[in-house]
Amino acid sequence: MMGPRQFGQRFGLLPSALCWAAWLVSGAIAARALADTLSSRPWLATVAVYAVALLVGVGGLVGFWVVADEFLFWRRRYRVRWNGGTWLYEERALGARRSFPFVPEILGEGYAAARRVRIAAEADWNTAMPQWAHGRRNEIMGRIAECFAGARVHFEER
């Protein structure tokens, strides 16, 4: 089963935004229908509308996170993401996605802890990395550091 974040990563910004809008509109319609249906019992209608509002609100917040993540990827054209067991540096180019895995090591505790990222040495970069990344080592290192917002990133050559 695909979770909301995987849906966004697989289908992109527009389908994610449309699903988010559909969720919110459906919730409003359901709340209105419940209120009208249960109008003879105002206390029950109130409880039902609050329950729908809570469900739609939580789902709307999750949808916002997915859409915001996809919008940032669309605007920047790159991101760092967790892919079920490995970290990926990912770029969008001409409708295709290209990526390579890397391993960050957390060096401390707490929020935005420093990280060490092992990457290919400059001399080995063009042989160790995919063709599209050749000659872009410093640019990609800067982007990886930027994506770990607030954390100090130390790069170590492997």
Strands 115-119, 153-157: parallel, antiparallel or unpaired by DSSP?
A: parallel
Domain boundaries, the chain: 4-76, 82-157
Q: In what order do the strands lie in the sheet with 153-157?
A: 104-106, 115-119, 153-157
For the question of whether the overall pTM of this predicted structure is more than 0.95, the answer is no
pLDDT tens figures, 113-158: 889 999 999 999 999 999 999 999 999 999 999 998 878 898 998 8
Residues 6+ apart with CB under 8 A from 13: 67, 70, 71, 73, 74
pLDDT tens figures, 11-61: 888 999 999 999 999 999 999 999 999 999 999 999 999 999 999 999 999
